[in-house]
């Protein structure tokens, strides 16, 4: 039906098409596996289905809330309207200070309790991650 | 006062630039271009931008706080070196550097020996780029804005940025990023004049390798800095800012290779042209992402949305016209389209497919969160596992192709000799991987595959060396590919076998984990000019080896900030890395983070080898390629 060269080209293009589709699928699968959603304490209060996967939570570490209980730290993260108690086992970064912003990664147990496995603080102390700044702005309004 | 001179220099450069563009355009309508005039104007523009840059450096060096940029980013107590490097450690200054490199490339390019029409059209296109960025600089981020009354003291610079490596890495990175502009302009000129040919590839190769080498140096320096300064034991965090530099690197590595194929066989011309455009576009995109403040990082200088929008608009205009020229003047491959699978050309094409795949993966991971945030107002981040899971398996396959490509011929295929070589290399690789796996006692599948394939590449390069009598001819490739093999090998070992100990420790206490013993000897406080420091002295033992490590914490006053200074003992087999933490510090007790990082020095050495390969190509005689 087609000449030989056209047939070859058709074969080539269909192989390329299939390979590209498979690769896109790969990317899509890995992306959905590794996305970490960001919430503010306020948003946690409002959702109905608690996320089961790892999430990030951002806000301000409430003043005088940091305590050490055994091996664990406990502190309160607030966006000035809602508060969530965080439990964390590990080292607090040097830039983790009460009254300053922090982003915390971990699992949500219930609407008031969060188990953190990572605290992200790589910046200087006056810096506020844009996500936290936005969350605070929404609530103070 | 100095600032006024700087401002005048910039305005003069802009006027000359517009004059050059207009006179070139008008005379090209009459087909009577005055090349000498264009050349001289081009030099003058560079001179004025250079002067502006010197005036800016001068303002920073003398702490002239009447200058807004100096006031916001410098401090009179800072050492002179950081005062000077501070001049490009901010948005305005870094844009001056950006434009300076744009115009320097334009001037250097005017010395190259190519046909005049092509050369000056390239310079014309390059000056259009200079125009866009000069307007941006002068009207949205003038580095010579004046504050009145003059403040007595500056606001200082983020202390985490006061580091020798970090101070010098932007110029290298910029020579890389911006270096691709001249290839971009040259490609557009070549396409427009229908002179995109084997000859074009030969002439472009020099500029491609320069930009690529400098980009590699910039990325290397940045990652060494992250390793020493951030204190988390890693050298690559899949941070969007790092990704922004990796994307052009991947594009340019693809360009570098496809250009070699175009140069040798006159194949893939249109593909090479496309890559030349894509490489510079991704460089611009990187600049936009890093500078606009969209990403949260120490690099985000500009938090002004107008600036981000302007750069975005410029990128879109430049990309649109570049692709328009590409589509209208699409170059035709002149050799008959026979592709022998087992040939060097087709292996270069396969290498390119891998690079493009990596590029797409990194770009999707970097841009998807931004896209989701802009459209749906949802904040997400993509975990590092996304990159590792997608890249690692494909890198393993890439290494196999990379090992065989150079062993093949450009056109013909000798089946028997290839099978023999594959057999020999496989045998040696199997032996050496068994030794490595036995030594490190790790049997996870990915680890074994990674070790095997990287050793396969290393051994194939050695084969390449012994097989050919003329090493000199391919030295650049041999050194770079050898370096890349070692890089992947050490990354696999490093990421699978790193150890971490996080623990609170008291003065006098000793902690034991596996073979490692850490003894906390004492703690010292000291007062420096700009900060106070707490230094912990530790004795670390691993088997028979023992050494002292003294990590510290610095509390800077201006601006007030705490930084953690790591203490690292480099050994050939691995680094011992210690950092201390402010939390829970009460007199004699402190939190430590200890890492054992195997083959860390090998990673740095292999990057140096890759860069060395670049330099060998730069300094080799042009005809020997």
Residues from chain B contacting residue A90 (CB–CB below 8 Å): 502
- In this structure, the answer to whether residues B485 and B524 fall within a common structural domain is no
Q: Do A123 and B298 touch (CB under 8 A)?
A: yes
Position A124 confidence tier, pLDDT thresholds 50, 70, 90:
very low
On chain B, the residues whose CB falls within 8 A of the CB of A124 are 158-160, 559, 561
Main-chain dihedrals φ then ψ at residue B89, nearest 5 degrees: -90, 30
Which residue of A lies nearest to B580 if distances are taken between CA atoms? A94
Write out the residue range of the structural domain in which residue B463 sits.
Answer: 385-497
> Nearest Cβ partner of A56 from B365, B381, B559?
B381
pLDDT of res. B73 = 81
What pLDDT does B449 receive?
95
CA dist., res. B174 & res. B102, Å (int) = 9
Chain A residues in contact with B368 by the CB 8 A cut-off are 31
Write the residue in B365, B381, B581 that is nearest to A94 by C-beta: B581
Task: State the Cα–Cα distance between residues B465 and A78, nearest whole angstrom.
Answer: 63
Beta carbons of A94 and B364 less than 8 Å apart: no
Q: Could you give the angle at the alpha carbon of B493 between the alpha carbons of B489 and B494, nearest 5°? A: 110
| Stretch A115-124: mean pLDDT | 72
Q: Judge residue B559's burial from the number of C-beta atoms within 10 Å of its C-beta, 0-12 exposed, 13-18 middle, 19 or more buried.
A: middle
Is B513 within a domain?
yes
A99 touches chain B (CB under 8 A): no
- For residue B9, what pLDDT band results from cuts at 50, 70 and 90? very high
Same domain, B433 and B536: no
Cross-chain CB nearest to A124 (options B158, B230, B591) = B158
- At B624 the pLDDT is 42
Give tens-digit pLDDT for B433-467: 999 999 988 889 999 999 999 999 999 999 888 87
> According to the model, what pLDDT value does residue A139 have?
62
Tell me, yes or no, whether B48 and B121 share the same domain: yes
C-alpha distances in Å from residue A78, one per residue of A65, B229, B419: 11, 30, 66
Residue B89 to residue B70: CA distance in whole angstroms: 11
* 3-class DSSP assignment, residue B428: helix
Q: What is the pLDDT of residue B165?
A: 81
Rounded to an integer, the average pLDDT of B209-226 is 94
A17 in contact with B, Cβ within 8 Å: no
- Convert B5-26 to b/e letters by CB count within 10 Å (16 or more is b): bbbebbebbbebbeebbeebee
Residues of A with Cβ-Cβ distance to B297 under 8 angstroms: 123
Is the pLDDT assigned to residue B584 strictly greater than 70? no
> Could you tell me the pLDDT band of residue B505, with boundaries at 50, 70 and 90?
confident
CA-based nearest residue in chain A for residue B585: A94
Predicted confidence at residue B164, as pLDDT, reads 83
SS3 assignment, position A74: strand
Average pLDDT rounded to a whole number, residues B418-430: 92
- Check CB contact under 8 Å for A34 and B383: yes
Residues B438, B584 within the same domain: no
Higher pLDDT, A91 or B614: B614
Confidence of residue B110 (pLDDT cuts 50, 70, 90): very high
Taking an 8 Å cut-off on Cβ atoms, the answer to whether B380 and A35 are in contact is yes
CA distance linking residue B8 with residue B514, whole number of Å = 66
Query: Model confidence at B625, in pLDDT bands (50, 70, 90)?
Result: very low
Angle between helices B198-229 and B240-265 (to 10 degrees): 150
Which residues does B218 contact at the CB level (< 8 Å), separation at least 6? B169, B170, B172, B173, B174, B175, B176, B245
Contact A80, A132 (CB under 8 A): no
B122 has pLDDT over 80: yes
Query: Where would I find the beta strands (DSSP E) of B383-530?
Result: 499-506, 510-513, 516-527
Same domain for B545 and B457, yes or no, is no
* B48 has a pLDDT exceeding 60: yes
The verdict on B436 and B566 lying in the same domain is: no
Domain annotation covers residue B221 = no
CB nearest to A92's CB, from B160, B378, B583: B583
Residue B7 shares a structural domain with residue B55: yes
| Residue B168 lies inside a defined structural domain of this protein | no
Condensed to tens digits (0 to 9), the pLDDT of residues B138-157 reads 998 889 988 888 888 887 75
- Determine, for residues A92 and B591 on separate chains, whether the beta-carbon distance falls below 8 Å: yes
Instruction: Calculate mean pLDDT across residues B180-199.
Output: 94
Confidence category of residue B302, pLDDT binned at 50, 70, 90: very low
In this structure, of B97-101, B206-210, B588-592, the range with the lowest mean pLDDT score is: B588-592
* The 3-state secondary structure of B496-517, one letter per residue: HHCEEEEEEEECCCEEEECCEE
With CA atoms as reference, report the closest residue to B45 among B70, B24, B67: B24
For chain A, where are the E strands, in sequence order? 35-39, 55-61, 67-69, 72-78, 83-88, 101-110, 113-120
* Band of pLDDT at residue B370, cut at 50, 70 and 90: confident
Q: Let me know whether B415 and B511 are in one domain.
A: no
- Can you give the pLDDT at residue B352? 95
One domain, residues B2 and B145: yes
Q: Do B584 and A124 touch (CB under 8 A)?
A: no
Bridge pairing between strands A83-88 and B499-506: unpaired
B493 domain residue, yes or no: yes
Residue B34 falls inside a structural domain = yes
In percent, how much of chain B has pLDDT > 70? 93
Say which residue, B591 or B284, is predicted with more confidence. B284
**Percentage of chain B lying above the pLDDT 90 cut:** 55
Taking one residue from A and the other from B, the number of pairs with CB-CB distance under 8 angstroms is 82
Q: Which of A63-77, B167-181, B318-332, B593-607 has the lowest mean pLDDT?
A: A63-77
pLDDT band at B576 (very low <50, low <70, confident <90, very high): very high
pLDDT in tens, B475-499: 899 999 999 999 999 999 999 999 9
Task: Tell whether B368 lies on the interface with A, counting CB pairs under 8 A.
Answer: yes
Q: How confident is the model at residue B160, as a pLDDT?
A: 64
Q: pLDDT band at A128, cuts 50/70/90?
A: low
Interface mutation vs chain B, best among A39, A91, A102, A132, most B CBs within 10 Å: A91
CB A30 to CB B582 under 8 A? no
Q: Which residue on chain B is closest to A25 by alpha carbon?
A: B390
Instruction: Report, as an integer, the average pLDDT of A18-26.
Output: 93
Element (H, E) at B267: none
For chain B, the domain total comes to: 3
Report CB contact under 8 Å: B379, A37: yes
Residue B195 is assigned to a structural domain of this protein: no
What's the pLDDT band for B166 if we cut at 50, 70, 90? confident
Residues from chain A contacting residue B560 (CB–CB below 8 Å) = 125
Task: Report DSSP letters for B231-243, one per residue.
Answer: -SS-S----HHHH
Please indicate whether, in this complex, the C-beta atoms of A30 and B381 are within 8 angstroms of each other.
no
Write the CA distances from B127 to A5, B28, B41, B149, B613, integer angstroms.
45, 15, 10, 37, 31
Same domain, residue pair B593 and B511: yes
A131 touches chain B (CB under 8 A): yes
What CA dihedral angle connects B211, B216, B218 and B221, to 10 degrees? -160
Query: How confident is the model over B216-238, as a mean pLDDT?
Result: 88
Is B438 in the same domain as B548?
Answer: no
> Is A69 at the interface with chain B, CB within 8 A?
no
Predicted confidence (pLDDT) per residue in A62-97, tens digit: 888 888 887 788 899 888 888 899 998 877 777 777
Nearest to B564 among A26, A33, A94 (CB): A94
Query: Over 60: is that where the pLDDT of B382 sits?
Result: yes
Does residue B28 belong to any structural domain of this protein?
yes
- CA torsion angle A118 A124 A127 A129 (round to 10): -20
User: Average pLDDT for residues A20-35, to the nearest whole number?
Assistant: 92
Residue B166 domain-assigned (yes or no): no
Q: Do B559 and A126 touch (CB under 8 A)?
A: yes
Q: How far apart (Å, rounded) are the C-alpha atoms in residues B207 and B212? A: 8
Rg over CA atoms, chain B: 26
Between chains, do A91 and B230 touch, taking CB under 8 Å as contact? no
Which of residues 201 through 240 in chain B touch A, CB cutoff 8 A? 230
A68 CA: distance to closest CA in chain B (Å): 10
B489/B530 same-domain check: no
- Hey, are the CB atoms on B380 and A129 less than 8 Å from each other? no
C-alpha distance from B222 to closest chain A C-alpha (Å): 16
Buried b (16+ CB within 10 A) or exposed e, A51-72: eeebbbbbbbbbeebbeeeeee
Q: Do the Cβ atoms of B561 and A125 come within 8 Å?
A: yes
- What is the pTM assigned to this prediction? 0.92
Question: How far does A89 lie from chain B, in Å, by closest CA?
Answer: 11
Contact (Cβ atoms closer than 8 angstroms) between residue A105 and residue A117: yes
Summary mean pLDDT of chain A: 81
Q: Which residues of B touch A56 (CB under 8 A)?
A: 379, 381
* CATH number of residue B572's parent domain: 2.60.98
């Amino acid at each position: 039906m087609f000449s030989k060269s056209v047939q070859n080209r058709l074969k080539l293009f269909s192989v390329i098409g299939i390979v590209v589709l498979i690769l896109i699928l790969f990317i899509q699968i890995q992306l959905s596996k590794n996305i970490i959603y960001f919430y503010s304490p306020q948003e946690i209060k409002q959702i109905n289905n608690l996320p089961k996967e790892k999430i990030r939570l951002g806000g301000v570490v409430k003043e005088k809330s940091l305590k050490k209980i055994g091996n664990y730290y406990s502190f309160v993260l607030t966006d000035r309207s809602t508060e969530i108690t965080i439990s964390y086992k590990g080292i607090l970064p040097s830039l983790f200070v009460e009254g300053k912003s922090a982003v915390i990664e971990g699992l949500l147990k219930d609407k008031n309790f969060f188990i953190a496995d990572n605290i992200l603080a790589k910046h200087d102390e006056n810096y506020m991650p844009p996500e936290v700044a936005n969350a605070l702005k929404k609530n103070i309004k | 006062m100095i600032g006024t001179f700087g401002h005048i220099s910039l305005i003069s450069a802009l006027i000359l630039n517009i004059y050059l563009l207009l006179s070139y355009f008008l005379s090209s309508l009459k087909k009577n271009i005055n090349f000498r005039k264009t050349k001289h104007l081009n030099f003058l523009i560079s001179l004025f931008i250079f002067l502006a840059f010197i005036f800016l450096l001068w303002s920073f060096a003398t702490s002239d706080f009447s200058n807004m940029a100096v006031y916001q980013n410098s401090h009179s107590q800072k050492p002179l070196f950081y005062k000077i490097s501070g001049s490009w450690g901010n948005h305005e200054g870094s844009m001056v550097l950006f434009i300076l490199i744009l115009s320097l490339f334009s001037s250097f390019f005017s010395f190259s020996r190519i046909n005049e029409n092509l050369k000056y059209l390239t310079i014309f296109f390059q000056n259009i780029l200079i125009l866009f960025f000069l307007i941006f600089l002068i009207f949205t981020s003038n580095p010579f804005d004046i504050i009145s009354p003059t403040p007595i003291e500056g606001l200082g610079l983020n202390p985490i940025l006061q580091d020798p490596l970090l101070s010098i890495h932007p110029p290298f990175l910029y020579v890389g990023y911006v270096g691709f502009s001249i290839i971009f302009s040259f490609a557009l000129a070549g396409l427009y004049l229908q002179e995109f040919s084997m000859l074009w590839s030969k002439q472009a190769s020099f500029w491609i390798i320069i930009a690529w080498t400098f980009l590699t140096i910039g990325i290397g320096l940045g990652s060494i800095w992250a390793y020493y300064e951030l204190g988390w034991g890693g050298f690559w965090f899949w941070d969007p800012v790092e990704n922004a530099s990796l994307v052009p690197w991947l594009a340019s590595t693809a360009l570098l290779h496809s250009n070699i194929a175009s140069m040798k066989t006159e194949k893939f011309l249109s593909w090479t042209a496309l890559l030349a455009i894509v490489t510079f576009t991704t460089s611009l995109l990187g600049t936009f992402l890093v500078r606009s403040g969209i990403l949260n990082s120490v690099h985000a200088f500009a938090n002004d949305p107008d600036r981000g929008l302007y750069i975005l608009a410029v990128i879109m205009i430049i990309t649109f016209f570049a692709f328009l020229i590409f589509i209208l003047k699409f170059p035709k491959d002149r050799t008959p389209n026979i592709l022998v699978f087992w040939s060097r050309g087709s292996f270069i094409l396969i290498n390119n497919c891998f690079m493009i795949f990596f590029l797409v993966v990194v770009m999707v991971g970097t841009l998807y969160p931004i896209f989701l945030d802009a459209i749906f107002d949802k904040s997400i981040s993509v975990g590092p596992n996304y990159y590792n899971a997608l890249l690692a398996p494909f890198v393993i396959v890439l290494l196999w192709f990379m090992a065989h490509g150079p062993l093949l011929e450009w056109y013909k295929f000798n089946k028997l000799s290839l099978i023999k070589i594959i057999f020999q290399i496989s045998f040696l690789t199997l032996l050496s991987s068994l030794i490595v796996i036995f030594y490190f006692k790790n049997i996870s599948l990915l680890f074994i595959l990674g070790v095997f394939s990287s050793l396969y590449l290393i051994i194939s390069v050695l084969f390449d060396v012994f097989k050919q009598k003329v090493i000199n001819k391919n030295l650049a490739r041999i050194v770079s590919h050898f370096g890349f093999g070692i890089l992947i090998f050490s990354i696999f070992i490093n990421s699978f076998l790193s150890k971490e100990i996080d623990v609170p420790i008291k003065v006098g206490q000793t902690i034991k984990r596996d073979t490692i013993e850490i003894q906390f000897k004492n703690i010292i406080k000291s007062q420096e000019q700009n900060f106070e420091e707490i230094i912990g002295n530790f004795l670390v033992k691993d088997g028979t080896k023992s050494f002292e490590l003294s990590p510290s914490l610095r509390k800077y006053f201006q601006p007030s900030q705490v930084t953690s200074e790591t203490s690292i003992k480099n050994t050939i087999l691995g680094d011992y890395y210690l950092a201390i933490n402010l939390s829970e510090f009460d007199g004699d007790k402190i939190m430590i983070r200890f890492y054992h990082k195997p083959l860390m020095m090998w990673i740095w050495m292999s990057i140096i080898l890759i860069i060395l390969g670049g330099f060998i190509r730069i300094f080799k005689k042009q005809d020997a390629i």
